[in-house]
Structure 1
Amino acid sequence: MSTSGPRYRITVADIEARRKKEGRLVAATAAVTDIDSFKTYAGWKDLPKAKRWDSHLSKESASRGPCVLKSAAKYLKRPDMISLGGGLPTPEHFPIQSISMRIATGETGFTEAAAASDEGGKTVTIGKYDSTQPAENPVSEYDIAVGLNYGQAIGSSQMLRWVIEHTELVCTPAYSDWSVSLTVGSTSALDQALRMFCDRERNDMLLTEEYSFSSALETAAPLGIRVVGVSMDEQGLLPERLDEILSGWDAAARGAPKPHVLYTVPSGQNPTGATQSLERRLAVYSVCSKHNVFILEDEPYYFLQMPAYEPKAAGAARVDPLSTYEPAALSTDKFLDSLVPTYVSLDYEGRVMRMDSFSKVLVPGSRMGWVTASSQIIERYIRHTETCTQGANGFSQVMLFELLNNSWGHEGYIKWLGHIQASYTGRRDVLLDACEEFLPKEIVSWTPPTAGMFHWLGVDQTKHPKAKELSLLALEEEIFERCIEKGVLVARGSWFAAEQDKPLPGMFFRATFAAASAEKMTEAIRRFGEAVRESYGL
């Protein structure tokens, strides 16, 4: 069985209608959340259930039991219950009475200038007891008293409702028993996922792209998890190579059982910037289904998908996409339809855990995101969280709820994502324009990224005058040092090699267009090109 996309469509209007019917959300401190009650799709119960993954779980994960103190919160549903059970401090002891934020409303755009103006910005304030105001004078469903106290490891009911609705809008899961949990960011989520699925005693190995997120590799290594790199092309991971590795796996020769977990960054992959097409994702999913491999889908750059790069004409001025972006003209459906479907959208077996993050599209310092997977996997994830991170930051939950739920709503957030998408498109175009102008194309090659914030530059080491004398790593280091001397920092490709003990397939450098100004990005690429030319004697 396979699927090429979602089987149903949820709109913002559907979400608003369900909320109106259900009425005001009342969820006090450490409230237990019924995830299914927040799902909007009326036919979700008729969808098939996810597979069980007991055989994939580590001994550590399988042995974790519920936190007895947090489990006791279910008894607080009784309105007459007086709690002397949990160590939840009284909010009277919280020295913060309110939190105020200046935000852009989106009415005139989302720039800093818009936020500062009377027409396009406003100041919002979160009070300590907003959620307990009388029904005839409601302020908010979430406040400082609830948000800054201890909570459930899965997250607050208020933020979970928003995340579940967002997941239905974006992913439309194709099986019934899916669930979510808030996280303290995707790096922490990956650490917990690896502990859940990879067992040191079994000598489990992890599949990933041959060049992978360095922090992911550094997370796996101390856990005793060896990595198997899968070859890539301009669209990322090659499904045929993944199939070859798994079909020909020799457990005795490898000293490990056949891998049963794949970690992949499908959109704007870090470090290569590659984005898997729908066809590629379907092919990868098919291979994983064939070999019973569980997929960890890490998607911090998913909403930073961009139109194809078009080189500007000689002497022409580059039009910044942000200058032509009009929030009012961007509908939720139009934006979501422009994106490649997620692995969760294609998943009919509960074979995927998707890791989402606010880091790349809102603020990295929020240290907040969420995971989506089958209820079995989320239940195991929560057992880890209860005795590890304890759950997402209360300040982040309260502030993001005020921004995303009370101020912007789902449509406003999509418009913000359109703004960020346009901004990164403009930044990418500036960097690529500089590459076209300053890099020696007979030596340096690249594929324009269509998502994310990274640009992968290949440097042909075979054309270097010292190619027969120096190793690839030595040549890479020599160019890197020249770059540092000239005042430009680019990341060395070898830092991201999945298998550090194997020969590298080529020499690469990673550049980012995330932060530097247009002028500085252009100058940085000029300096990089100068370093390459000097190294090659051009």
Structure 2
Amino acid sequence: MAPPSAIEVEAVTDTSGVTIPDPLSAPIRSNEILGRRKKTDKRQWGVAAPSDTSHFRLKSYEGKPKARRWDHYCSHEAKVRKGNSLKAAAKFLSTPGLISLGGGLPSSEYFPFEELSVKVPVVGHFSEQETKESGVVITAGKHDLANDKSIFDIATAFNYGQGSGAAQLLRYVTEHTELVHSPPYEDWRCTMSIGSTSGLDMALRMLSRPGDMMLSEAYTFSAAVETALPLGVRIAGVPVDAEGLRPDSMDDILSNWDVNVQGARKPHLLYTVPTGQNPTGATQGKARREAIYAVCQKHDIFIIEDEPYYFLQMQPYTGPNAPDIPPPSSHAEFLQSLVPSLLSMDVDGRVMRLDSFSKVISPGSRIGWVTASAQIIEKYGRHADVSTQNPAGMSQLILFKLLDEHWGHAGYLDWLIHIRIQYTSRRDVILQACEKYLPKEIVSWNPPMAGMFHWMQVDFRKHPDYPEKSIETIEEEIFMRVIEHGTLVMRGSWFYANSEDKHDTLFFRATYAAAPAEKIDEGIRRLGEAIRAEFKLEKGAAGENRHANGH
């Protein structure tokens, strides 16, 4: 079913005056954002133009609390880093009549690109086939800004830029963040990133020191562990359940922290993936997130909220052969259906949220954004200016043309609803295949509510060679047996937050993100076949499983 079409609105250009709705504190609708934008000056869109996201916010935050200061957690590196003095000089480039003999900005005359064109879907017709048949070509020219055709062009995007990203796309993600999360404190800001893994790396450099321990789910994103360990930061795994990280367990760990036993000071950072968690697929509900935030307030924990799967929240799973639940009928209903983010309940400015286009547009764009307090964003920007610099200008230009000029905020929400329905269908395929092919006395699972991953627990104690063989050996043998049967699933041990912790459960992770439905079904059939062979099960005449050796 196609998502609701974007509501048409009267066009408003970036150089024309607009009527600002009153009061500014009123809720924002996706089709009102153009009308709420403040009048702009062409000079603010130029090469390497500095920007402050507070200028792009649509509501008034007067009377909201200010974020707490985090000086007591900032690393020495974060405190002494001064940023890039040459980029600071870029603010003078827009001065009328200025002849720049300063910055080393190459002339766009020598960029071997005159136009950039991409074919993209029209709103409401998002499938690959529809895009092929009815998609439209959007084009960026080299000098569109100078010729008043657009506020972003090749001459600007393909040159050097600020670490915060191009103002044109930064404005869009700021508005999007306000529309979806509306942070409840005054001095929140956004900045662009080159993806959330880079964002986590910078956060750890800013907010930790070698020897620290950081909290995370007991099973966590493996790249997070691999990012932290070389920086001297170990992870303390917090037990999880079907709804993700357990706040009572986190409170217990922090309340009873023993520096001598742990070999580290009490943690002050929490890294969490609240929605469609990688690898468990668990999603923290609203009450769970509120409880986690309360524990963080109690122990003064700073939260790194990594949310690449936030918009992959799916329709409720109602079982095999159940009728489909209709998709959201409006943008407001869609946004209301999303579990509130930790950012949306952050009154202290203790959340650093990492967002990304990787799972909903394209991983290869290498574009994401960070939302946090002005203090944290300023320090992040100083780091970016002398390391990653800005995200690739080519990617920023393509995304700006698609998201801002072509789809707009309303069209992007339509796309996200489309993605929701597609992932719901894929999730349902893998769950139905599991019901059909997997031996339930050996394998159990909870239906994922979001994300890309299906987390399956295997009762290793029913393996015919247990306890003679260890859990590690049984995991290895199951993994290789599955490979022999022609499919691949990830071993749960690869996602341990702390490999030194003892684990008495065995998991495997499957994804339904990439393979088509028939391949998902066949892959799970082969997985079931492999598990039966490994556990010496055979299928009886009535369809029941039993141990071949009679156990």
TM bucket, shorter chain: over 0.9
**How many angstroms apart in 1 are the aligned matches of 2:319 and 2:270?**
36
Q: Secondary structure at the match of 2:113?
A: coil
- Counterpart CA distance in 2 for 1:25 and 1:277 is 44
The equivalences for 1:77-156 within 5 A come to 77-107=94-124, 109-118=125-134, 121-133=135-147, 138-156=148-166
Structure 2 residue 268 is matched with structure 1 residue 269: no
In the alignment, which of 58, 75, 100 is matched to residue 58 of structure 1? 75
TM-superposition CA deviations, 1:285-333 (whole Å, max 9, x none): 00001100000000000000012212224xxxx8788xx76xxx74221
Deviation, structure 1 residue 63: 1.4
**Where has structure 1 moved over 6 Å in runs of 4 or more?**
318-321
- Which residue of the partner structure matches residue 3 of structure 1? none
The aligned residue for residue 466 of structure 1 is 465
- Partner Cα separation in structure 2 for residue 33 and residue 21 of structure 1: 15
Q: Which residue of 1 aligns with 2:35?
A: 17
Which of 304, 309, 326 matches 2:312?
304
Q: Is the 8 A contact 1:209 1:498 kept in 2?
A: yes
1:458 Cα deviation after fit? 0.1
CA distance in 2, matches of 1:86, 1:49: 36
Instruction: Tell me how far 1:26 sits from its aligned partner.
Output: 4.4
The structural deviation recorded for 1:36 is 1.2
After superposition, give the CA deviation of every residue in 1:128-171 in whole Å (9 maximum; x if it has no partner). 111111xxxx4211000000100000011101110110000011
Q: TM-score, normalised by structure 2?
A: 0.91
Higher helix fraction: Structure 1 or Structure 2? 1
Q: Deviation of residue 530 (structure 1)?
A: 1.0
Tell me the TM-score normalised to structure 1 length.
0.93
Using the alignment, how far apart are the partners of 1:437 and 1:74 within structure 2?
A: 63
- How far the C-alpha of 1:20 sits from its partner, in A, is 6.5
User: Is 1:222 the equivalent of 2:230?
Assistant: yes
CA distance in 1, matches of 2:412, 2:339: 19
Question: Contact 1:10/1:172 (CA < 8 Å) preserved in 2?
Answer: no
1:249 partner letter: W
Q: Which of residues 187, 192, 196 is equivalent to 2:202? A: 192
Alpha-carbon distance between aligned partners in 1 of 2:228 and 2:53, rounded to the nearest angstrom: 31
CA contact (8 A) 1:438 1:529 kept: yes
Task: Quote the Cα distance in structure 1 between the aligned partners of 2:127 and 2:168.
Answer: 28
Unaligned stretches of 5+ residues in structure 2: 1-24, 538-551
**1:184-240 CA distance string (max 9 Å, x none):** 01111111111111101xx21110000000111111111111110000000000000
- 1:99-498 superposed matches below 5 A: 99-107=116-124, 109-118=125-134, 121-133=135-147, 138-200=148-210, 203-313=211-321, 330-498=329-497
Moved more, 77-86 or 352-361: 77-86
* DSSP 3-state at the match of 2:391: coil
Corresponding residue of 1:4:
none
Root-mean-square deviation over aligned CA pairs: 1.5
Amino acid paired to 1:111: S
Secondary structure, aligned partner of 1:150:
coil
Residue 176 (structure 1) shift: 0.7
Shift of 1:85: 1.2
- 1:2-40 deviation line (CA, Å, top 9, x unaligned): xxxxx9622224422222755778410000113211110
Structure 1: distance between partners of 2:39 and 2:150: 18
**In 1, Cα distance between equivalents of 2:213 and 2:81:** 22
Taking structure 1 as reference, are residues 20 and 86 closer, same or farther at Cα in structure 2, changes over 3 Å only? closer
What secondary structure sits across from 1:45 in the alignment? coil
Contact 1:26–1:141 (CA<8 Å) still a contact in 2? no
Cα distance per residue 1:232-261 (max 9 Å; x no partner): 000000000000000001112212110000
Q: Conserved in 1, the CA contact under 8 Å of 2:187 and 2:373? A: yes
Percent of pairs identical after alignment? 53
Q: Tell me if structure 1 keeps the 8 A contact 2:114–2:141.
A: yes
> How many corresponding residue pairs?
513
